[in-house]
Amino acid sequence: MTVLNALLIDSMVRHPDGRVDLVGLFEDIHFPSLPSTYESLSLFVDLQFAEPERGERKAVDLVLRSPDGGEAHRTTVKFEIPTLAQYPRDTAQLDLTLFHPTFTHYGNHCIEIREQETMLRRIPLRVLALEP
């Protein structure tokens, strides 16, 4: 399984013809003070999978890393890769979510998409002070 693309978004809209609209792409969030909890961080993830993976159950961890590299939050997402009969394409777009991450430091964070100990993708996220 390979992550082709991963972006932080406000929302994703799927169309019956297979198109996907991404709304509110961002890499920065602002807080007036810390610690602060964000209701949810949504990620658009474009996956490519190999033929032998079809029908397998998978789990990926979404890991929020603080500026010092420490783990600030982790969410595990489980899904099944469809069989060829169910889904003829070798790519799929997922909307994955980290619910209620709490931020305690301003600065450069990242979200890692991991399958067990393997890093699939790292997405930058800057946490900034809200200017009055």
Q: How many domains does the chain have?
A: 1
Average pLDDT over residues 108-118: 96
Tens digit of each residue's pLDDT (9 = 90 or more) over 30-66? 999 999 999 989 999 999 999 999 999 999 999 999 9
Contact between 112 and 63 under an 8 Å Cβ cutoff? The reply is yes
pTM reported for the whole predicted model? 0.90
* pLDDT band for position 131 (cuts 50, 70, 90): confident
Residue 42 lies in a domain: yes
Whole-angstrom distance, CA of residue 96 vs CA of residue 115: 14
Predicted pLDDT at 29 = 96
Tell me the C-alpha distance between 132 and 117, whole Å.
41
Is 16 inside any structural domain?
no
Instruction: Write the pLDDT tens digit of every residue in 10-39.
Output: 999 989 988 899 999 999 999 999 999 999
Residue 65 belongs to some domain of the structure:
yes
112: in domain:
yes
Q: Domain containing 65 — which CATH number?
A: 2.60.40.2550
Distance CA 129, CA 132 (A): 9
Range of the domain at 55: 2-7+24-129
* Percent of the residues in the chain that have a pLDDT greater than 70, as a whole number: 100
